[in-house]
Structure 1
């Protein structure tokens, strides 16, 4: 089942950040639709992964996920 997860993330500032986060999520859910908004500091993913796992993947890339 796919759900949309939206996270507020600090530390993203460029295309590399977008790629890193997108690839990390898609590595575990290749069908995920990931949208990163650098200006707003958000990551939105339509994914089968639970919110906690998406947050952990973003954090593993070095970005601070806010609750």
Structure 2
């Protein structure tokens, strides 16, 4: 199992966290998504994680991604 962490911009509430969790959880290989609104961090656990797909899902959900995983 691997873990990747992302800094996300534009999150302001629990609805934002739920939306990101739903979008990223739909990616094959993702087993858990944890969103921390206090630090604007999204932590993704799973097997064979695809960084590009995760970033794309976050952007398609309407949020920005900064920095490296």
Shared topology, TM-score over 0.5?
yes
Larger deviation, residues 43-52 vs 23-32? 23-32
**RMSD value over aligned CA atoms?**
1.5
2:8 aligned counterpart, secondary structure:
strand
Matching of residues 1-67 of structure 1 within 5 Å: 2-29=1-28, 32-48=31-47, 49-67=49-67
Larger deviation, residues 14-23 vs 45-54? 45-54
How far is 1:30 from its partner?
7.2
Instruction: Give the Cα–Cα distance (whole angstroms) in 1 for the partners of residues 30 and 56 of structure 2.
Output: 18
Gaps of 5+ in 2: none
TM-score for both structures, normalised by structure 2: 0.83
| Structure 1 stretches of 4+ moved >3 Å | none
Gaps of 5+ in 1: none
Equivalent residue pairs, number: 66
Instruction: Give the Cα–Cα distance (whole angstroms) in 2 for the partners of residues 57 and 40 of structure 1.
Output: 19
